[in-house]
Amino acid sequence: MRWSTPVTAAVAALVVTASVAVTSPAYGRPTVPAAGSGHQLADRLERATRAAGALRHLRAWQSAADANGGTRAADTPGFAASADYLVRRLRLAGYRVTRQPVPYEYYRIDTERAVALTTPPEPLRLLAMTWSPTTPPGGVEAPVRVLPTSRDGVVDPTPGCEPADYAGLPVTGTVVVLPRASCGFVVQEQTAVALGAVAVLFYMPTVRPDNIYRAYLFDPAAISVPVATITQRAAGQLAARTAGSEVRVRLEITAHRARAVTENILAETAGGRPDRVVMAGAHLDSVTESPGINDNAAAAAALLETAIRLAPHQRAVRNKVRFAWWGAEELIEVGSLHYLAQLDAEQRRRISLYLNYELIASPNFGRFIVDGDDAEHPGVGEKPPPPGSGAVEKVLTGYYGSRGLAYETVDLYSIGSDHWPFADVGIPVGGMDGGTYQAKTAEQAARYGGTAGEMFDRCYHQPCDDLSNLNLAEFDRNCRAVAWVVGRFATDVEDVLAQRHDA
């Protein structure tokens, strides 16, 4: 799950308050829960699947992180241990499991450090952006320039996006510090460099000023100077210190390209029509800085528990169900992209739909369901969802609505995850996300409960994303939801196929 898509909310008071970067969200209206849905397998799986079972898997994956430096990132022993556990459980349940090797190239960071040359010198916590240019040998030393986010009491909604934002602020030969804004890292970096900046340090405006997030550069060739992130608190401290005198920083980033191999774990039912494959997936890896229990072990565990509960019925399902646990999603969908690249056109055509799940136990949760028909968010995303996605959305929203659970729909591209590659090749997609670093609005708190003004997940991509970082009641609700939706499509994809064929 990533935060590299443009921020659409203004940087007002340096707090992100938008709901998953979505305008005009469509809210579900809960109805009275039905006694039974009429989908027998789905109902049976819903009754059998609980957080209590899925928690066994989360404890195993927490142990894998604890024993391996606090992370389960791709190409680490923590990920390898997580994958081994997953495979054991699937095989015990009776599945034939595929461990698909996924070769990839990545940015291996050797050095990332910065220090404010005050008296005494103060280290700055720093995360180099993935694919950032490196510093010269010995690093860069230069004065700091912290870009103001307001002038004369007027908040700038897009700081650093235009040269005029730097009016009166000498930039030549400096390290610029500024918040991430809606125009994106590349535009902000290029604007600062055109004025003479030798490096750029970004911070993410959130309600948790001590959080820090590593960002990914999609177009490294567009960046010409070292770029990294620091905490919002550190940026504020630098702003205060530079108000009365010059402060210099020393910055050093060294890295190199490296090759590695991760893996996708795939398991499918023995029965079911092979020309009507229902896929459900979640990424297994964490970011390097976190054990990744809510992001995304929780969803991976819900899928595993669903697979275990489905196993006794796997020869009787009408449609083949294929579960996928992706490697290196945090390096931008490496695993799912590789999987699809290995399929020919006919193999892709046989996939009726793909379901994706992310952060399903966020402590201050929301319920964000992909807008599959583009009805609620027309023209917001990069392109419309593939035909058939509207029918997938209807099943997910119907489940939550029929059980009295509020939800809202979001644009397909507002949630960066493994459904993107499937949508890009025309496979109908759907899914659910529980919320990341955005702050819950008062309206959302009234609908879901929880705390307005606090992040959906305060530990998103942070070391504290561990077993204590779960809303267990919401985790239980979503485990059941995952199971029911998988069971429903295991027996009926006619509505999805009808939309797909009509198009």
Contact 347, 431 (CB under 8 A): no
283 DSSP β-pair partners: 326
- 382 band by pLDDT with thresholds 50, 70 and 90: confident
pLDDT of residue 337: 98
Secondary structure (DSSP) of 34-86 = PS--S-HHHHHHHHH--HHHHHHHHHHHHHHHHTTTT--BTTSHHHHHHHHHH
Q: Specify the 3-state DSSP secondary structure of 469.
A: coil
| pLDDT above 60: residue 37 | yes
- Give dist(CA 262, CA 73) in Å, integer: 10
pLDDT band at 31 (very low <50, low <70, confident <90, very high): very low
pLDDT at 305: 98
For residue 25, the one-letter residue type is: P
pLDDT of residue 32: 40
**Mean pLDDT (the chain, rounded):** 92
- Measured CA to CA, the distance from residue 360 to residue 477 in angstroms comes to 9
Distances (CA, A) of 333 to 58, 327, 342, 387, 475: 22, 8, 14, 22, 24
Residue 412 structure tokens: 């397909």
Residues in a beta bridge with 267: 97, 323
Is 60 exceeded by the pLDDT of residue 314? Answer: yes
The residue from 189, 268, 329, 358 that is catalytic is 329
Establish whether 329 is a catalytic residue.
yes
Structural domains for the chain:
25-95+269-502 (3.40.630.10), 107-256 (3.50.30.30)
Alpha-carbon distance of 156 to 148, in angstroms, equals 9
Confirm whether pTM is higher than 0.95: no
How much is the pLDDT for 166?
96
DSSP state of 293: I
Residues above pLDDT 90, as percent of the chain:
87
pLDDT in tens, 166-190: 999 999 999 999 999 999 999 999 9
Q: Which helix (H) or strand (E) holds 280?
A: strand 273-283
CA distance 33 to 56: 29
Q: How confident is the model at residue 30 (pLDDT cuts 50, 70, 90)?
A: very low
3-state secondary structure of 201: strand
**Pair type for strands 127-128 and 227-229:** antiparallel
